[in-house]
Amino acid sequence: MSRTPLIAGNWKMYKTIPEAVETVEQLKEAIKDVSSREVVIAPSFVCLFPVAEVIRRSNIALAAQNVFWEDEGAYTGEISPAMLRSGGCTYTIIGHSERRQYFGETNESVNKKSKKSLEGGLKVIVCIGESLEEREKKNTFSILRTQIEGGLRGLTADQMREVVIAYEPIWAIGTGKTATADQAEEVHQFIRNQIGEKQGKELSEKTRILYGGSVKPDNIDELMAKKNIDGVLVGGASLKVESFARIVKFLF
């Protein structure tokens, strides 16, 4: 079954508003002819609306890096799905390993954020992944199974159609280490099988699963050649137009 590749750039806590606008203006020009894959960028909250104005009517979609699970209220420092949509977002990233590591994100909060985002009309990129210690103890699959079950609990089949899974081995994020294409493919197949057990084979075959972890121009082609890798969630390499454009234009 054909799945449209998705290339997402997570800018994390980088770029001021002028820097973000300049970068996306250059990126828009660099990938203007790309039509066979979906491109998403996730700037910081303050950059969302200015970037949205630049990419309007382009082939680039906008994502937030986080979201809260209520529509509104006395939640200082948080932002709702409705606010993100009004700022031009169509996606939000949920449960990134850095959110789990530094800000106490749990499978329960990932689940609450996913449900509220989907109810609010946003698509979600749900991140899962194991630490180096967990991998060395051969707990990768049990950790991922728990994250999938907890993070996606209670989602309907219709909601699951708006969910993208991003597998990001924590030991390969920002470390320069990368899971080999074969290692990534093995895990992606496991994730697809888990979705199939919960939601059925047809839906699992439609679900896009991204790889994230030190993705670079020199490993993108090998990763994207794998059957179950449907795209990538890119960190550092998405900050520079030249490297991210090369990733977007990966070779089949």
Neighbours of 25 (CB within 10 A): 14
- Which neighbouring-strand residues pair with 165? 126, 209
Active site residue 168: yes
Which of 179, 115, 165, 113 is closest to 8 using CA atoms? 165
Which of 187, 160, 178, 156 is closest to 237 using CA atoms? 178
Active site residue 149: no
> Given 96, 98, 105, 185, which residue is catalytic?
96
- Which neighbouring-strand residues pair with 163? 124
140 Cβ contact partners less than 8 Å away, ≥ 6 residues apart: 130, 134, 187
> Given 38, 105, 130, 168, which residue is catalytic?
168
Helix, strand, coil proportions of the chain in percent (round to 5)?
45, 15, 40
- Catalytic residues, by residue number, are 96, 168
